[in-house]
Amino acid sequence: MSYESEKLAATLKTARENKGLSQRALSARAGVPQSHISKIESGAVNLTVSSLTAIANALDLELALVPRKAAPAVRTLTRNVSDAPKATPETRKEIARLAKQLEHIQSLKIDSPAFENLQRQFREMRQFGNLIRNPDTLRSIRKALKAVEGEGGIAALQDASKQMKSFRNTLAHGIANEDRVRLPRPAYRLDGENDE
């Protein structure tokens, strides 16, 4: 097996492990026999384009031919993506609880634009799950949603929707409340600048 093939096999194995998939689970997703995946990862067999495509799709990877001059930039970008922080187990658990709560509310057949907005904002917020360091805001939103079944149903939905929108916006701008830091003051000042 060539160096490039070995490197590609190692990349696929790392991607599979990062997804928390066994070879058997990947086999079921990709439609490639588990024994073949094992041989690919161990370097016992050369990777075919069809197997590579099926495995890459199952691992949410995109295959692309990149001009040689652009390869360093692509490597830098992919390294940055793979080094991105992962959501904490506590955060993932709280997101799952919030999703269950939303499913329950949906089963109540409440017809309200506030609920539709809340669902959309929740889907968007989930995309930033890896940025959430403290799941307290998620707990607060979930508690607000528990009041939906009571007398203040629509008001509770609107309140939860406002909280979700604010939280989603904070995450989208990349600064969680607990991570806000004052920028350092410059070491010098140009003449005529006011010190605020």
Q: Which amino acid is at 194?
A: N
pLDDT digits (tens, 9 = 90+) for 167-184: 888 877 765 443 444 445
pLDDT digits (tens, 9 = 90+) for 83-138: 556 777 888 888 888 888 888 888 877 777 777 888 888 888 887 777 787 788 88
DSSP reduced 3-state for 128:
coil
pLDDT digits (tens, 9 = 90+) for 23-44: 999 999 999 999 999 999 998 8
**Domain locations in the chain?**
3-82, 89-178
Q: Who's near 27: CB < 8 A, 6+ residues apart?
A: 33, 34, 37
Question: What average pLDDT does range 142-163 have in this prediction?
Answer: 78
Q: 94-131 burial by CB neighbour count: b if 16+ within 10 A, else e?
A: bbeebeebbeebeeeeeeeebbebbeebbeebeebbeb
The pLDDT, as a whole number, for residue 37 is 92
Q: What's the CATH class of domain 3-82? A: mainly alpha
pTM (global) more than 0.75: no
Q: How far is CA 184 from the centre of its chain?
A: 30
pLDDT digits (tens, 9 = 90+) for 10-22: 889 988 888 888 9
